[in-house]
Amino acid sequence: MDHRARFAVDCLHKQYPEPDRLPEDACLVFVRDRGVCVRKGSTEGSTKGSTPTIFQAAFPDLPGELKRDELTRDARYLGHRGAVACYAVEVPGDLPLPEGLAYSGVRELAGLVPDGELAVAALAVQIVDYDRTTRFCGRCGAATEPVRTERAKICPSCHRIAYPRLSPAIIVLVRKGGSILMVRGGGAAPGRYSLVAGFVEPGETIEDAVRREVREEAGIAIKNIRYCASEPWPFPDSLMLGFVADYDGGDIAPDGVEIESAVWFDRDHLPVLPPQLSLTRALIDDWIAASAASAASAPSSPSGDPAAGGDAAGDGRSSSQSSAQDDRSASRINEGR
């Protein structure tokens, strides 16, 4: 399956050992809380029509109160953009911003800055968070030190190494005849459905996790598990792994706690879908295309699945209900961490 992972950082390459000192021409990404600083696109003068950017040509542009050395003491290396080293720099929450700069949450930047920059913005937030949460050794409590030859911190006392946390999570589109399984979490807005998703647990293979999540969330067995695509989802640190699988038995039985409703939807009665570009949406779009191609190749043979579109369980909500829908599977995962 062809899926463009919008938070995959492909415009930076890492060079280790990282530079000893912050280079004069370094490119900075300013991070505050879980957002980044954006230079707004200009509509005037020589920069007319310029695109908003998260990369700051830092020093000539910084106001007097932003002292370079002070601000960049804890700059975190992100990688090189061409020949220029890029760093994330955390700025104090009360620091006033110069004209033309504004803070933004990372997801709100989708479609506003170039795709590569969106991914770098997410990486910058993620790395600043990693840095904040690994300042002291988790085993002995000593202050950690950065490792210059890889993205890691080491404890000088007990030598424990801390890497950025990465949480693998699966998302799976389950097929049954001409329908797919979608689920609705407890507390989700009416009409919001997504695919089964969840974190991989210690001791599991990825396939075990797919089977377990479908069994836990919908009560059914599956077979023919096939990997499709992956996507970094850095909110805060997931790596989403997308699969398709086929129904293999059992009746839908949502647990009523995490999942309040699980429903087979056919192609003509899908709920409001998650945004374009999400892995959830890519899996569904891929299935829609395959299912349309299959229908076109056998026009005299309508869906042979009598359950299609009507085999609802749980709250029995109609698939025609709609609401604004985000990539809820991922947000549920986030909430669970």
Q: How far is the CB of 133 from Zn ion (least distance, A)?
A: 15
Nearest approach, Cβ of residue 150 and Zn ion (Å): 18
Regarding 262 and contact with Zn ion (CB under 5 A), the answer is no
User: How deeply is 21 buried, as exposed, middle or buried, from its count of CB atoms within 10 A (0-12, 13-18, 19+)?
Assistant: exposed
**238-249 and 196-199 as β-strands: parallel, antiparallel, unpaired?**
unpaired
Rounded to 5 degrees, what angle do the CA atoms 143, 144, 146 make? 145
Tokens at 314, concatenated: 């749980």
> Is 157 or 320 the residue whose CB approaches Zn ion more closely?
157
- Whichever of 158 and 166 has its CB closer to Zn ion, that residue is 158
Report the distance separating Cα 78 and Cα 85, nearest Å.
Answer: 8
Q: Residues for the chain: how many in total?
A: 337
Min separation Cβ 16 and Zn ion, Å: 23
Q: Tell me, letter by letter, the H, E, C secondary structure of 146-176.
A: EECCCCEEECCCCCCEECCCCEEEEEEEEEE
For residue 160, the minimal CB distance to Zn ion (Å) is 5
Q: Least distance in Å: CB of 35 to Zn ion?
A: 32
3-state secondary structure 1-70: CCCCCCCCCCCCECCCCCCCCCCCCCEEEEEECCEEEEECCCCCHHHCCCCCECCECHHHHCCCCCCHHH
Assess contact for 197 and 167: CB atoms under 8 A: no
Contact 139, 153 (CB under 8 A): no
Least distance (Å) between residue 157 CB and Zn ion: 5
Nearer to Zn ion, 19 or 156 (CB): 156
Q: Which is nearer to Zn ion, 37 or 137 (CB)?
A: 137
Report the nearest approach of Zn ion to the CB of residue 131 (Å).
17
Q: Which C-beta is closer to Zn ion: that of 142 or that of 289? A: 142
The CB-of-135 to Zn ion minimum distance in angstroms stands at 12
Which residue number, 157 or 294, has a Cβ lying nearer to Zn ion?
157
Interface mask (CB under 5 A) for Zn ion, residues 127-166, using x and -?
----------x-xx-x------------x-xx-x------
DSSP 10: -
Report CA-CA distances (Å) from 304 to 214, 218, 258, 284, 307: 24, 22, 32, 20, 9
Contact between 186 and 260 under an 8 Å Cβ cutoff? The reply is yes
168 strand-pairing partners: 239
CB of 279 to Zn ion, least distance (A): 37
Q: For residues 196 and 258, what is the distance between their CA atoms, to the nearest angstrom?
A: 11
The residue count for binding Zn ion (CB under 5 A) is: 8
DSSP string, 191-208: T--B-EEEE--TT--HHH
Q: Which is nearer to Zn ion, 158 or 292 (CB)?
A: 158
In this structure, which amino acid lies at residue 267?
R
Please give the residue ranges that form the binding site for Zn ion (CB under 5 A).
137, 139-140, 142, 155, 157-158, 160
